[in-house]
Amino acid sequence: MNGRGLITATMRELERVKVIEAVIEGRLRCFQAAERLDLCERQISRLCRRYEADGPAGLVSGKRGQPSNRELPIDLRARAMALVRERYADFGPTLACEKLAECHGLVLAKETVRRWMRDAGLWVPRRQRPPKIHQPRARRACLGELVQIDGSDHRWFEDRAPACTLLVYVDDATSRLMALHFTATESTFSYFEATRAYLERYGKPVAFYSDRASVFRPTYSRTGARGVTQFGRAMYQLNIDTFCANSSPAKGRVERAHLTLQDRLVKELRLRGIQTMEAANAWAPAFMAAYNAHFAKPPRSTFDAHRPLRDGEDLDAILTWRVTRKVSESLTVLNDLMIWLLEDTPATRRLIGHYIDVWEYPDGRIELRAGGVALPCVPYELPEIDQGAVVEHKRLGPVLQVAQAMQAQRDNRRVSGSPSRTNRGAAVRKPATLPGTKKARAFTQAELNETILQLATQHAKQPEPASKPARRSARAH
């Protein structure tokens, strides 16, 4: 008990002595003393008899200085702390409590273990821990040694066009803008397109440094193993390392570039009246030149770490989406809600029951390959059924716009047919207005696909398969 608790207990006991003396001297009645001390009258009578027999010492509680009835044995605490020091010194109280019960049969409350570990100096409460210090990391020595990449979803064209994503490539050694690419959403094929332009202009850097988005870092499978993403596989084939940052400050150069671009680039686009991603991508090199002249830093070394592309490195083949699919007994391959019919030949019959590669190109072409050889095939489409897609929060806005456009088109189809008897007198619905258009009218499928193209349906690739119309329009982009 601390000093404040002792003072409180002493004042309470002095008050009790005064009240009991008053009852014995006849200055207070028992019921009055009971109300003042919040006790019953029978207890007041007992205290009076103790005071008459032993004086003020008789009013002291007999439990003072005695261990609590709920206190655990001392040897149990010593045994538990010995085990924690020996095996679980770096464990938290909750995990240490679980291991004590699981491995040693010591069933304790986690708060008890927490208090014991705190008293023994084996665990420090979070509030008492010193704050983490993130010291700045030194820049890399030369150009192309490390390139930070990230996407920024922003209203780059303000109210002149819907929000889109800007993929930014920043060199770590110089803070130079290496590439700017406006795209609908942050997807694998968007990074393929931007990375291809980077490689064709500068060559291959040593490494790319990114965040832990699903484009760069795969999620765990059901077996607990971590695979590789399509972007990681392509960079491995090009002999380019990829690293993921643990936090946003770790890739602070590209994060600070986002803030500058969201201020300066938005205003430059406004002054030039640019309101489309195509026009912005065409003008981006001029902006990068002016930006680098103002903000770029000289590298410590004049050596350029970029490497040229080798003769055998075909970017058309490397920057593809590749999956494996099984050939059925009927010489068919199911991929993305579409059945592909293989040509019936002795060579393809030997592939029954085996897995082959399905290559999807950014322009929407599909190739079925076995042993590096393309197989002749024709598509056979399944009925269009929308599947629930897993969409990251960064791409939720464009996905909802796509859903609205597709729903509007389906509504137009329903009201354009002959009315049934039940709704023959019903009013015809107003034609839908697709996002990005001004007039309300019915749209053809080609116009719908073009609108969906502008609304960034590239979300279908990450991280789970989405509906077929959205995936196809994204790959065509």
Check residue 221 and give left, alpha or beta (phi > 0: left; psi -120 to 50: alpha). Answer: beta
The residue ranges of DSSP E strands in 305-354, in sequence order, are 321-326, 332-335, 338-342
Q: How far apart are alpha carbons 179 and 166 in whole angstroms?
A: 10
Question: How many alpha carbons fall within 13 Å on the CB side of residue 6?
Answer: 4
% helix, strand, coil for the chain, step of 5: 45, 15, 40
- Confidence tier at 197 by pLDDT (50, 70, 90): very high
Model confidence at 451, pLDDT cuts 50, 70, 90, reads: low
Q: Which of 130-139, 160-169, 220-229, 424-433 has the lowest mean pLDDT?
A: 424-433
Answer yes or no: are the C-beta atoms of 67 and 106 closer than 8 Å.
no
pLDDT of 477 reads 45
What mean pLDDT do residues 91-107 have?
A: 93
Most confident by average pLDDT, 25-34, 304-313, 408-417, 459-468: 304-313
CA pair distance 206, 147, nearest whole angstrom: 8
Percent pLDDT > 90 in the chain is 50
Whether 467 shows a pLDDT value over 50: the answer reads: no
For residue 403, pLDDT over 50 is answered with: yes
The two most distant CA atoms of the chain are separated, in Å, by 118
Q: What pLDDT was estimated at residue 10?
A: 67
Q: What is the pLDDT of residues 266-304, one digit of tens each?
A: 999 999 999 999 999 999 999 999 999 999 999 999 999
Q: What is the DSSP letter of 374?
A: E
| CB 161, CB 279: distance < 8 Å | no
The angle subtended at Cα 262 by Cα 256 and Cα 264, nearest 5°, is: 100
Residue 239 — left, alpha, or beta (φ > 0 → left; ψ -120 to 50 → alpha)? left
Nearest to 347 by CA among 316, 375, 314: 375
Handedness of CA 15, 21, 27, 33 (dihedral sign): positive
Cα gap 213→454, rounded to integer Å: 23
pLDDT of residue 34: 87
pLDDT category at 441 given cuts 50, 70, 90 is very low
The one-letter code for the residue type at 79 is: R
Residue 98: pLDDT above 90? yes
In a 13 Å sphere around the CA of 450, the CA atoms on its Cβ side amount to 7
Q: Are 281 and 179 in contact (CB under 8 A)?
A: no
Report, as an integer, the average pLDDT of 231-238: 94
Q: Is the predicted pLDDT of residue 44 greater than 70, yes or no?
A: yes
pLDDT score at 466: 43
CB within 8 Å of 204: residues ≥ 6 apart:
238, 239, 240, 306, 307, 308, 309
H/E stretch holding 31 reads: helix 30-37
In CATH, the number for domain 147-295 is 3.30.420.10
What integer best gives the mean pLDDT of the chain?
82
Q: Is 46 helix (H, G, I), strand (E, B) or coil?
A: helix
Domain 320-381 classification at class level: mainly beta
Least reliable range by pLDDT among 49-58, 391-400, 433-442: 433-442
Kindly tell me if the per-residue pLDDT of 114 is higher than 60: yes
Is residue 167 within 8 Å of 261, Cβ to Cβ? no
Strands 147-154 and 207-210, how do they pair?
parallel
Could you identify the residue written with the tokens 């410590």? 300
CA distance 233 to 214: 13
Residue 457, pLDDT score: 47
Give the Cα separation of 329 and 341 in Å (integer).
Answer: 11
Confidence of residue 37 (pLDDT cuts 50, 70, 90): confident
437: its two tokens: 């258009």
Mean pLDDT of 43-72: 81
Question: For residue 253, is it left (φ>0), alpha (ψ between -120 and 50) or beta?
Answer: alpha
pLDDT tier at 364 (50, 70, 90 boundaries)? confident
Name which of 331, 441, 418 is nearest 376 in CA terms.
Answer: 331
pLDDT at 460 > cutoff 80: no
Q: How many residues does the chain have?
A: 477
pLDDT (0 to 100) of residue 15: 84
DSSP structural state of residue 400: H
Which two structure tokens, joined as six digits, stand for 314?
Answer: 């075909």
